[in-house]
Structure 1
Amino acid sequence: MANTYTQIHIQVVFAVQNRQSIIKNEWKVELYKYMTGIIQNNGHKVLQINGMPDHIHILFGMRPTQSLSDLMKDLKQHSSKWINNRSLVSGRFSWQSGYGAFSYSKSDLGRVLNYIKNQEQHHKSVDLHEEYLQLLKEFNVEFDERFILKPIL
């Protein structure tokens, strides 16, 4: 086949190390723009990004030119460096190891876009741990409870 045609939609969810609530409203939009740039520079298309002070959700169209694990390594590494180089938090910022990744059909995109856009409202009734477990169960992802989001210290 002369060309490759794909339609792959992925939502990734990942947390700040120790689930600390340290992503501040004052700079989160700039962080989201920076993260969008990283994803786009790797050839993918961001559809929605949002989060809470302790975690991020990103929905993007993924191109088959890179593995998800390589993209996530690049995204987390460079965004951590961006936060640390600007001294946006006291101490050293890092993301928790690991992430959740969930695929969606085109018909699901509207629902997922709204879900990510309305994170603040959603988290008034559901905390991150509960939300993450719901996603894992909804997608029938096998997991070990010991390794699901390290607790807040």
Structure 2
Amino acid sequence: MESYLQSGSHTVYALRYHFVTVTKYRADILTDERLERVAEVAHEIAEDFEADIKNVDGGTDHVHILFTTKPTTDLTKFINSLKGVTSRRIRQEYPEVKQTLEDAFWQPGYFLATTGQVSLDVLMDYVENQ
């Protein structure tokens, strides 16, 4: 397995996460274009948090995001920014979405797991084939 170790001035770490969120009411509204836009916005947000998005994919009602972070990253703030900003941007840029989802784009909850000993390549393959 390839090593994905990162390092700081006094630390070595491998913090890899698998994040999944679903659309409000599991509405089938994520077209390929909208999913691509979610990915673009996620990359922008990740830069602000010094996180690295490895892959974004999903279906018509959910998104998988694989990312790495530093040990100092506030995961709650990062996830809230991912969900909040992507929700706002999608609803602004695709007004037709408001007909289905007026107040929110994502369900309040989400799934977040560390990847453990599974290689990033295996996870990327899993996400791409969802």
* Inter-partner Cα distance in structure 1 for 2:38 and 2:96: 10
Aligned-residue Cα RMSD (Å) equals 1.9
Paired residue for 2:98, among 69, 90, 93?
A: 90
* Inter-partner Cα distance in structure 1 for 2:109 and 2:19: 10
Residue type matched to 2:123 in 1?
A: V
Structure 2 counterpart SS, 1:90? helix
Q: Percent identity?
A: 25
Deviation at 1:5, TM superposition (A): 2.6
Which structure has the highest strand share of the two? 2
Calculate the TM-score normalised by the size of structure 1: 0.70
Structure 1 counterpart SS, 2:119? helix
Aligned to 1:102: 113
Structure 1 counterpart SS, 2:98? coil
Deviation at 1:88, TM superposition (A): 5.0
* Inter-partner Cα distance in structure 2 for 1:111 and 1:40: 24
Does the CA-based 8 Å contact 2:91-2:98 persist in structure 1?
no
Which structure has the highest helix share of the two? 1
Does the CA-based 8 Å contact 1:9-1:106 persist in structure 2?
no
* Inter-partner Cα distance in structure 2 for 1:21 and 1:61: 28
Pick closer, same or farther for the CA change 1:88–1:71 going to 2, 3 Å. farther
Aligned to 2:4: none
Does the CA-based 8 Å contact 2:42-2:53 persist in structure 1?
no
Calculate the TM-score normalised by the size of structure 2: 0.81
Deviation at 1:106, TM superposition (A): 5.7
Paired residue for 2:125, among 114, 117, 122?
A: 114
* Inter-partner Cα distance in structure 2 for 1:106 and 1:33: 28
Aligned to 1:40: 47
Flag structure 1 segments of 5+ consecutive residues without an equivalent. 120-153
Aligned to 1:12: 19
Q: How many residues align structurally?
A: 119
Residue type matched to 1:43 in 2?
A: E
Aligned to 2:65: 58
Structure 2 counterpart SS, 1:35? helix
Aligned to 1:134: none
Structure 2 counterpart SS, 1:12? strand
Aligned to 1:28: 35
Does the CA-based 8 Å contact 1:22-1:53 persist in structure 2?
yes
* Inter-partner Cα distance in structure 2 for 1:75 and 1:30: 12
